[in-house]
Structure 1
Amino acid sequence: MRTKTLIITITCGVLALGGVVYAVQARAGDDSPAAQPAAAKVATAEVVRTDLSDYWAESGTVGYRKQRTLRGVAPGVLTWLPRPGSTIARGDILYRSGDRPVILFYGPSPMFRDIDVVGMVGRDVRVLADNLRALGYRIGSQPAPGTRVTVQGGPAPTATGQGANGDANKPDSTPTASGTGAYQTVVTSQDAVFTRSLRDAVKRWQAAKGVRPATGTVTLGDVLVLPGAVRVGAASAQLGDDATGNLMAISDQTKAVSVEIDASRADDLRAGQKVQITLPDSSHTSGTINSVSSNVQAGPSDGDDPGPEGPKVQVVVAVDNASAIQNISSASVEVRFTGTTAHDVLAVPVGALLALSSGGYGVQLSDGALTAVKVGLFADGMVQISGTGITAGTRVVTTS
């Protein structure tokens, strides 16, 4: 028994000693320094001097510009209409009435009478002469402004400003002594004279367009005058209808974005201002305000309830890059208008602002100092600030 006890005792002692030796060796071998906590990374941003603008957005619609309804001029039976989507330019046929073509001319004023007597003077004769010349017809020379000419076939203009032929009143128009109904008048810069050469050009033009008989007389309704080429929309009439009613929708060839805005914002916008447009595919393009309507439209109402929406005005925006909406026939887009602009101000990211316990805002400088600031305009994630020690280039702490 004593031998067993001695062995156990010695064994336990050796194990204890080994544990001590291991502990000492382990402590002696770990000579690396104690781990230190990592320094916190702080994001900073530079105070910049810039222009800031806030924005507001409205929904707009892509469509063709200046959409309106075309009405016929002279009585007759409608016998032909152009295909929707087609373009009608100067000299093209707009429609047929009694199978007689009605031709598009460009000009500032409509035709208002038959042009059938050599010597007739007026703005409508100028429209006729200008368009035939533009179509390549030789119309001969025209009397210079200030020339006195004799107009046959009607009395002198009355004091109301219109003679029997519809001529504009000329202050010095005087009847001739022959008593045949002729009178003399002075050609102005806005007039042209229906000369024999111009009548001959009309005959050639009528023959080319299939007008029978080609008499050289332009009857009211033969020509319809518009500012330029038009795109044909949906028909409003059917063949066989009276040609004096609504015939078809027409518009300009160019597309634009129409936006209805609150009338209270109209004074903030003007023609020429730039806007940003977000297209249906989320791409962006720029635009320019073409017009701000002065016609205020009442907002939608339900009986006596005026509804939540107030009066509206229409804004037309031209797209700077026309190809951006070339394949869009009709779609909603977002138009972003510029509101208030602050020029040449100091600004930082909004994330740099700190709410102070005493009220107001402050920013923390990169050296740790806290300084109060006065805030101004907020725009595009930036905020206008000013305060002691805040200059362009100062670095401030901000959110990462």
Structure 2
Amino acid sequence: MSIAARLDRLRSGIPGRTHASARASRAGSTPACTAQPPRDAASELADALEGRAVDGVVQITRDWQPAEADAHPSQALDRLPEVFGAGDADWIYIDTETTGLSGGVGTLAFMVGIARHRAQGGLQVRQFVLPGFSNERALLKQLLDCIGSGALIVSYNGKCFDLPLLQARLALQRIDTDLTAMRHLDLMYSVRRAFRRRWPDCRLQSAEQRLLGFFREDDLPGAEAPAAWQAWLRQRDARALQRVAEHNFHDLVSLARLHSLLPAIYEGSYLAADVDHGAVGRAWQKAGYERHACSLWESGVERLDERDSLDLAAAYRRNGEWVRAEAVWLKLFEAGSQTAACELSKFYEHRLRDPLRAIEFADVCAEPERSRRLGRLQEKLGVSGQLSFWPPGSVAKAMK
């Protein structure tokens, strides 16, 4: 008996063992498997978020068209100290939704939103969503392709959070691109500078409400975004992720709207009592645009405090506008400013060569400036005695 025949006899003797062809015949089916393979996660999530799956990453594309009141000429977008002269830059608005708010190696961006101005007006918003951890490299590659090399990035707190986090993920994925080296306008600093002295906080939603009149309804708080992604990973439940995508979309639109409004604030044409003209002017001054600073301070001169007015007078002095500087110092002196008194004393002593008038203001300066200035003026006038020992305010009267 052949080996094959012996094996057949042995198989037939095993209880419950039936030849495959016999089982298939009794079942009325063929041995081949007809079950459909499960759908990939990217396609499933893309359907849930009304996007499309591109190489394992979900992309959602939406357009936004502003109301007529929101329309601002694009050339005005560079009228801010940090980006002055950028003109028709490729402005890219960016916002991330992450697995945690503390940063660190274990935190990644599972959704990154990008918005760009359209030639016909409005914005095109593109959101990149991770269907799983293994797709991160593909997401980062697609994100970089979308941003391009010559973009000017605009964010809200992106300097401290979004860009460092994305840069860390690029390094972990061995992608040799330095996002942090690109030109970057962080609007949080622009808003803080203009309003932090008069607002309780400068969060994005506070700026939306106070400047744009936009109040979110049924918005998913950013702190709940990590749980929404976990619900997708563990249970394939994308309902909360839909709300995260909507939250991210509104963040991007608000960024663009704020960017359109802030140049008017920084140039003084936006009239509001809560704008800190002094701080905004100093930002222009620090960036090297002192004439812009003076124009802004002049437009809100009635709202300037002592420090702001002294900065304005100092700018006039540097530009040789002595009459204007004197007028500002005199106004401050009448309000009781000892610093303005010192400036006036120096002005009359050195510029107008009027030591008696200089003594009048030196007499009310704070110590030790009072004693030092009176001593030098006393020598110039050849007056005997120690004028600095006299009570403040009495020297000028005695000299008249």
Select the structure that is richer in helix.
2
TM range (shorter): under 0.3
Select the structure that is richer in strand.
1
- Of structures 1 and 2, the one with the larger relative CO (CA 8 A, separation 6+) is 1
